[in-house]
Amino acid sequence: MLESASVESTAGYRIVKLANGACSIHSLAHRETFHPVIGPVAEAEALYVRQLRLAERLQRHTGEFVLWDVGLGAAANALTALRAARDIPCSIHLLSFDHTLEPLDFALQHREALGYLAGYEPHLERLLHEQHCAFQDGALTVNWDMHLADFPALLAQPSALKLAQPHAIMFDAFSPAKNPAMWTQPLFANLFRLLAPDRPCSLPTYSRSTMLRVTLLLAGFFVGVGHATGEKEETTIAANTPDLLAEPLDRRWLERARRSSSAEPMWEPVYRQAPLSPATLDKLLVHNQFR
């Protein structure tokens, strides 16, 4: 039993109090809690801020650092990233993506319970109503755009080429079983195509599934083992250069994937589990990561 109390809402979300006392948001439609075990801030720090080596990369960075926040939700990941950067003299262009602003609106209505929105409310109100805000946060300059759209459809459009190319991506959709459209092979292939080859970019996410890792490899990413987060003993980090991976998946992982009953990417937005097809295996065997 991870959730010990809740506050209902009419908006399709409710506040849940986790066993450690932190509050998080639960989606009634997806029957999933946004940050279900250690809470929004601790999970955002462990999974995204630390794995992206955000502070270290920002300190060495010149020019605008482009950060994609896929699945803005209630903005816990975005705000945790900004707080981690606010003492560093640098400039972040934050692009948030979601097909609804309801969780953000709901979070603003429950700001006291959630806590982590404190100090950012005027900027979040502007993001909510104008889909853009720009502000100074300590030493950090923030330029924040909200892209309110179906993310897979947005990436498939030619206009996606005009989006600022990311140095880092926080990928936080609901789980593949509940939200399969956000985990298909075509989505990650489109995402990879939008990266600048000469701009190192990493993408941590909470799943460690073989299916996801194969999906990312086939899309063109290098893929490594990600940190434990409190909820998961292992997560996944992908990047367009092996230099951003501390522990790349090796040939032993590939052997396990070969035997797995759930390794074939989802080609359609319909959840299912299947072993690797011969065509997928052939592609993995010639991936630069395993040569």
Ligand X SMILES: C[S@@+](CC[C@H](N)C(=O)[O-])C[C@H]1O[C@@H](n2cnc3c(N)ncnc32)[C@H](O)[C@@H]1O
Give the integer Cα–Cα distance in Å for 196 and 204: 18
Question: Which residues between 110 and 149 bind ligand X (CB under 6 A)?
Answer: none
Instruction: Name which of 75 and 266 has its Cβ closer to ligand X.
Output: 75
CB atoms within 10 A of CB 103: 21
User: Residue 99 interacts with ligand X (CB under 6 A)?
Assistant: yes
Which residue's C-beta sits nearest to ligand X?
73
Minimum distance between the CB of residue 196 and ligand X, rounded to whole angstroms? 23
Q: Binding to ligand X by residue 151, rule CB under 6 A?
A: yes
Instruction: Find the binder of ligand X among 15, 38, 76, 284 (CB under 6 A).
Output: 76
CB-wise, 236 or 289, nearer to ligand X?
236
Q: Which two tokens stand for residue 203?
A: 């993408």
Q: Does residue number 257 form part of the binding site for ligand X (CB under 6 A)?
A: no
One residue of 15, 41, 47, 74 binding ligand X per CB under 6 A: 74
Q: Between the CA atoms of 70, 73, 76 and 82, what dihedral angle is there, to the nearest 10 degrees? A: 50
Closest to 235 (Cα-Cα) out of 171, 188, 189, 185: 171
| Stretch of residues binding ligand X (CB under 6 A), selected from 91-99, 108-116, 117-125, 136-144 | 91-99
Judged by CB under 6 A, does residue 180 bind ligand X?
no
Of 45 and 172, nearer to ligand X (C-beta) is 172
Alpha helix positions (H), 44-198: 54-60, 76-85, 102-109, 111-114, 121-130, 151-156, 185-194
Neighbouring residues of 71: CB distance < 8 A, sequence distance ≥ 6: 77, 97, 98, 151, 171, 172, 173, 174, 182
If the CB atoms of residues 94 and 263 are measured against ligand X, the closer one turns out to be 94
> Are 189 and 221 contacting, i.e. CB atoms less than 8 angstroms apart?
no
CB of 77 to ligand X, least distance (A): 4
**Is residue 176 a contact point for ligand X (CB under 6 A)?**
no
Closest CB to ligand X among residues 150, 250:
150
Q: Does 172 bind ligand X (CB under 6 A)?
A: yes
Positions 4 through 43 that interact with ligand X (CB under 6 A): 34, 40
Q: Which residues contact 286 (CB under 8 A, 6 or more apart)?
A: none
Q: Which of 173, 237, 257, 276 binds ligand X (CB under 6 A)?
A: 173
By the 8 A CB rule, do 27 and 11 touch?
no
- Which of 94, 95, 101, 182 touches ligand X by CB under 6 A? 182
- Distances in Å between the Cα of 106 and the Cα atoms of 9, 94, 117, 185, 187 are 9, 21, 12, 32, 28
CB of 88 to ligand X, least distance (A): 21
Q: Which is nearer to ligand X, 120 or 174 (CB)?
A: 174
How many residues sit in the footprint of ligand X (CB under 6 A)? 22
Contact call for residue 68 and ligand X (CB under 6 A)? no
Note whether 206 binds ligand X by CB under 6 A.
no
CA angle 167, 173, 178 (to 5 degrees): 155
> What is the number of H-type helices and E-type strands within the chain?
11, 12
- Are β-strands 90-98 and 32-33 bridged in parallel, bridged antiparallel, or unpaired? unpaired
Note the residues at the interface with ligand X (CB under 6 A).
34, 40, 71, 73-77, 97-100, 103, 150-152, 172-174, 179, 181-182
